[in-house]
Chain A
């Protein structure tokens, strides 16, 4: 039994993994850790399915070298490390250290992060290291620094429970941080008088239970909070003593707020929300002292993200609502170790241990501690600029760890192009089949969750252990080890780490180093954790920093009203609002928004392998308002082309009035491994916040047009199909099933020989031949292959999108032995038993479909989510499908 931490979102839930001795495929059991302060035993659907992602299928088990023709070859570590070190040395000698860059990830453990940052900033002497946290958290970091003098999240999840009003801004908490959402909902059940307001352009699952939803226009948040600031002042809701003694900048901030949002009508117009709702929200905020404002990517991923953050914090500072239970701004991060990365200085504009690059005292402090030969003197390139520098040749060597920028960065086609120009591209990853690893010269096999060992810090400053409970597969190694090995080969000292606890100890000591009134006082202090030996490190229980002395933990900052600007005060920051950089025009009249869906994570390299996570939303899609779809001449459920000035994609259209007019929503997850053309990053404008450098993922002008096809097909196979780039159909999606793969396909033109096409695509010789049905239309074709009573494959082709029920076929492929009735069904293209179709997946944890739930509601006259749970179990594990169940109940009454 191992206590570890979930590797997905920034909630950072405690997980207990139990490995059984037998070597069965399901030998790992996952449970929530009841002792962990983040989740108290709860887990979401992704966390619950962690065991499904641990298969070694597709794992990279040895280093790979790719020669000039793109041929990959497995090599021993020594050879790969020599190649990396030699390549770096060569490029540094020829072009200087500024030609070398690292792009790392919030998926790294703090220890990996620490070592790579140390190498880059202390030994290579450059700061060209940035992280994918740039894409999600850097605006929050910049906002925190401007307000508090340091990147500090003062509160914790418990504050959400204790608050009387929770404002969720730009956060689909129900889907993206399900456990935090569950805690919030639980506290509301206990105290029904608690109020919840959601600020989000989309009507998401999170809005379902909200008292008020403000569907603000993308990018208009600063008007909303400037308006609130003005309103609070006008209503006299000001903590004058706090403002006078513990803050600065209030006059300027208020002047800027008044100038831009002094009238409610102006705010209503700018935000596109009804005046009456605005008044309701402001009045609610004004009269509630215990208010927490949660913000996430909807705030951060904007060209004015940092100002948005400060406009929110301003309201809490003016009212003195922070530093006490149940109140304060609360940034919720997207990645498991976004905060850990920030602590070690993993961003191009920070140094280490919450110290700043541009302060000579800070640089001296770190260099003294490290005893390093160099220290970076100026900020490095931030993510978007960094890849631009790769593109134009200023950066020649790039090492990417645990992230997939060809999918996740804005203008992602240009990123792919940039990688093609790199003289040396090193990628550390678990898999070779990622869009990014495909371009690498050297691919290093990294350790995955359950294999690696270190620490992470979640959104509420809770530092907890991620532990290994599985052996390292093949030759896979920790990232810190690979970095240290390369550092040693470059002749650097200070990298002789043998165990992760040694790195953690150094990190902890640095945090305490000269961290006092005489040195450089800073909040980030984990000196109390220094000196842990391997066993102590292993036993480390979750704690919230600062941990200045052994055994301490700090659930809440700012209790003493002390902040970390030089004068010990916080700052209200003037935030004159700015709209998004690229405005829609006639050619691209719609606003493209991007985000996560409930059951997938990032670029699906892990979650895409879990069958039960694939069933909720199996295909990439774009959501738009039905009226907008009418205006664009596109049909619900049909394939459409979504385009921007930067790129285009082909996805399925989902019409929903939850999506506001003139906007689109596309999930960020799909990529070339799972779909023909569904990387939304290719469409996103490469526009960044001037302060934080965070890209504007939530606002790109785009258009939607029909993507006509002549035939539709679904193919089930036990093996991956060979869909090569040149000859593949116009549209395909690969969906992981339980022991099979499902492909959704569509194409143009007439398939001359559907039989030959299907059979050669499937590439098998079924022992008992092919089962075939051909109808009159040249496109209507069906075939299936059995091996005795086991289904090997099947394919249905039609000129209409009326293909058989996928849930039924899914079940046939999971079935132990198919019977005669199933074979008849296969020929008919539908189950002979009408009760067989459970409908689209709603509860992924227990595989409960829509029809099953509707039936239960009808037959038992159910009126509550709890009732449905008792009847069919749906919604009783992670609870993230509860909003959907609630909607089903509402619609069937």
Chain B
């Protein structure tokens, strides 16, 4: 307390996953000592894990979903103002006016306002029991509305829509998913993968309707709502959840006069700076290279970049830059593994595909390779995504593919494929995408005595996000064990 450095004021608007990651970086770099930090949070509780929000329905409490270590704000002297949204930003006077009438001056401002769910402008969208899927409050509203409901419909068959469908099924509703596109998860998977995903999800008791656009929600004859569709179809439900994509929460920035994209999003540069050099924007509210990144890993990367710039920007060249992010994803949707990476739709000129499908075991795999067959450009895995980590590394590190790349997805070749990975990767290879942990860092940690997954998690933060890098970490651990054993033998 009381150091001269602390005179600088930093205001962070938003305490979502990315906003919290930014605060963690501040603390890690001891920037909270240099800045008097104030965080505005429109929600009633500090940052929580939105990625695992659906676990709210399987009994995980809002406390358990929290991403904020106990007494985090107290310990680091960061002021958190819950239930207090920013109303207006005054760029000229460097001040933020809050919804509760307070005015906070700042030297630096970080916008981590995130996004809001897009609700298509259909008549009846505001009827009772028509909800969205974004916050814990939304979950609570779904639970309350689900108490007396029998049938639920999710509008939107994307990643989040299927998560929402899982939640409705978990609370015991007859569940439908309606998707405007001709397949589920249209962004991530191709037709083959989408068809298999659909079959698997239908087997789990969720009804899937694709190629259907809702035009109106009115009173139902048998259930609370009657949904009418462009093709004349009709579906009834007690509960409607919209999950038709997200839109950046950029209203504050727009009104303040910051540059925003044509279709929304606060424009940022490679250091996450907005058009006002004192203001940063990170996460889903930010637009970089004309693109919104709706995943948590790029958001975390922006948080790191913005914090790095705050630390170094005024005196030297910052080390980190945001230059776009890989949008690869691997997830388990209702127990179904789905992964999509790189150029999943083979839109690169000259790209060629390998496909493997087993209808009996319900597995679909596709590799997209460069014209010469030497580089992996992307792929889709549905039903079994065990190769994801290996393939992703091959792609991200631009490694040369084996003579017969199809071996990478054929069942018999699994062990060979797995053995390709860790040793051949450069030290700079990022093994944990969420927390941005490289192979080099992990090896150092292991050498320093992190001998199991838990220790690695604690020591490096790796595998604390989506967890898809766990198998790689295990091989890394096993490898070092073999090494240690070998050394021990030599010593004897």
Measured CB to CB, the residues of A under 8 A from B are 265-266, 268-269, 272-274, 276, 625-628, 630-631, 657, 660-661
Contact = CB atoms under 8 A, between A and B. Distances in A.
A265 B222 CA distance: 8
B74 interface: no
Contact of A627 (B170, B221, B236): B170
Contacts of B174: 272-274
Interface string B49-70: 0000000011100000000000
B172 interface: yes
Given A661-B171, A661-B172, 6 more contacts: A265-B236, A269-B222, A273-B174, A276-B207, A626-B58, A657-B170
B222 A631 contact: no
B180 interface: no
Nearest to B170: A627
B263 interface: no
Contacts of B150: 272
B116 interface: no
B171 A627 contact: yes
Contacts of B143: 627
Contacts of B170: 626-627, 657
A546 B59 CA distance: 58
B223 A269 contact: yes
Contact of A274 (B57, B147, B207): B207
Name the residue among B143, B150, B172, B236 with the largest chain A CB count within 10 angstroms.
Answer: B172
A627 B57 contact: yes
Nearest to A891: B335
B222 A627 contact: no
A627 B207 contact: no
Contacts of B222: 265-266, 268-269
Contact of B172 (A265, A273, A627): A627
Name the residue among A266, A268, A628 with the largest chain B CB count within 10 angstroms.
Answer: A268
A630 B59 contact: yes
B111 to A, nearest CB: 36
Contacts of A273: 174
A278 to B, nearest CB: 11
A626 B147 contact: no
Contacts of B223: 269
A657 B173 CA distance: 11
8 contacts: A265-B222, A268-B222, A273-B174, A276-B207, A626-B170, A627-B146, A627-B171, A631-B147
Contacts of B59: 626, 630
Contacts of A272: 150, 174
Name the residue among B57, B171, B207 with the largest chain A CB count within 10 angstroms.
Answer: B171
Contacts of A269: 222-223
B374 to A, nearest CB: 35
Contacts of A628: 172
A818 B473 CA distance: 44
Nearest to B205: A274
Interface string B139-175: 0000100110010000000000000000000111110
A274 B143 CA distance: 21
Interface in B55-103: 57-59
Name the residue among B57, B59, B207 with the largest chain A CB count within 10 angstroms.
Answer: B59
Interface residues of B, number: 17
A660 B172 contact: yes
A657 B207 contact: no
Interface in B347-398: none
Contacts of A626: 58-59, 170
Interface string B171-184: 11110000000000
Contacts of A631: 147
Nearest to A627: B171
Contacts of A661: 171-173
Nearest to A217: B150
Nearest to B236: A265
Contacts of A266: 222
A211 to B, nearest CB: 12
Nearest to A635: B59
A274 B174 CA distance: 7
Contacts of A274: 174, 207
Nearest to A660: B172
A276 B57 CA distance: 26
Contact of B221 (A265, A625, A657): A265
A274 B153 CA distance: 13
A631 B236 CA distance: 25
Interface in B316-360: none
B464 to A, nearest CB: 25
Nearest to B144: A631
A630 B207 CA distance: 26
Contacts of B146: 627
Contacts of A625: 172
Contacts of A276: 207
A661 B151 CA distance: 12
Nearest to A661: B172
A625 B146 CA distance: 13
Nearest to B167: A627
Contacts of B221: 265
A702 B236 CA distance: 29
A342 to B, nearest CB: 39
Nearest to A266: B222
Contacts of B173: 661
A625 B143 CA distance: 14
A657 B170 CA distance: 8
A626 B223 CA distance: 24
B199 to A, nearest CB: 14
B28 to A, nearest CB: 37
A405 B236 CA distance: 46
A654 to B, nearest CB: 14
A179 to B, nearest CB: 30
Contacts of A657: 170, 172
B228 to A, nearest CB: 15
A269 B174 CA distance: 11
Nearest to A276: B207
A657 B146 CA distance: 15
For the complex of A and B, the 10 pairs showing the least CB-CB separation, nearest first, are A661-B172, A269-B222, A627-B171, A274-B174, A625-B172, A265-B222, A627-B172, A272-B150, A630-B59, A276-B207
A159 B200 CA distance: 34
A86 B484 CA distance: 92
Nearest to B148: A662
A627 B59 CA distance: 8
Nearest to B176: A274
B332 to A, nearest CB: 14
A660 B171 CA distance: 10
A713 to B, nearest CB: 27
A625 B173 CA distance: 11
A268 B223 CA distance: 11
A272 B146 CA distance: 15
Nearest to B147: A631
A657 B205 CA distance: 13
Contacts of A660: 172
B59 to A, nearest CB: 6
A490 B173 CA distance: 63
A656 to B, nearest CB: 11
A380 to B, nearest CB: 43
A661 B207 CA distance: 19
B83 to A, nearest CB: 25
A864 B52 CA distance: 33
A13 B162 CA distance: 49
A276 B221 CA distance: 17
Nearest to A655: B59
A266 B59 CA distance: 34
A628 B171 CA distance: 8
Nearest to A268: B222
A268 B150 CA distance: 11
